[in-house]
Amino acid sequence: MDIPTFKYHPDPLATGSIERSEQTCLVCGQARGFIYTGAIYAEDDLDDSICPWCIADGTAHEKFNAEFVDAAGVGGYGLWEPVPDEIVAEVAYRTPGFTGWQQEKWFTHCGDAGQFLGRAGHDEISALGPDAIAAIKEEIGFDGEEWDDYFESLDKDGEPTAYMFKCRHCGAIGGYSDFT
């Protein structure tokens, strides 16, 4: 069984936001073989208990008023360009989020939300190319040796960690980094 397609998070299995599981979904009551493991903003404790289908069709948001991405974080709390409310709603209410060290942000570009590519360290950012390196350097604001040391220390599975995105329209790479 394939999971639903998410426009703004194209491979949530690879990013770890959705995992194989026999857990029963609290929304639809079914065990569909996959469960969401990312951040959930809701009054109820919903950790590891919502299936991807109930995220995709909006029923998890409708039933529990759940957000999977902080709506204010779409656009990076003003770091990147604002996008229309309907795009913010799709990202916040119908897209699997991810877990960061600090409050998560969602890259925007070309009037739209970007696609989440995943967590990245030095090697993954280098593989994405010079635009990815420049995006993180600009975001963190370090130069010279301070930047070199920081960039070298970025770790996909540790900290500091970068979170990388790709524009759905022009292919621009964007993102940010954080640590505890």
Cα(169)–Cα(118) distance, integer angstroms: 18
Among the listed residues 14, 17, 40, the one whose alpha carbon sits nearest the alpha carbon of residue 27: 40
pLDDT in tens, 91-130: 999 999 999 999 899 999 999 999 999 999 999 999 999 9
pLDDT in tens, 12-59: 999 999 999 999 999 999 999 999 999 999 999 999 999 999 999 999
CB within 8 A of 115, min separation 6: which ones? Answer: 7, 8, 9, 10, 165, 166, 167, 168
pLDDT of the residue at 43: 94
C-alpha distances out from residue 34 to 4, 26, 68, 93, 169, Å: 11, 13, 16, 18, 30
Domain locations along the chain: 12-178
pLDDT at 1 over 80: no
CB within 8 A of 150, min separation 6: which ones? Answer: 140, 142, 160
- pTM to 2 decimal places: 0.94
The proportion of the chain whose per-residue pLDDT surpasses 70, expressed as a percent, equals: 99
Asked if 103 and 20 count as a contact pair (C-beta separation under 8 A), the reply is: no
How many C-beta atoms lie closer than 10 Å to residue 30's C-beta? 11
pLDDT of the residue at 180: 77
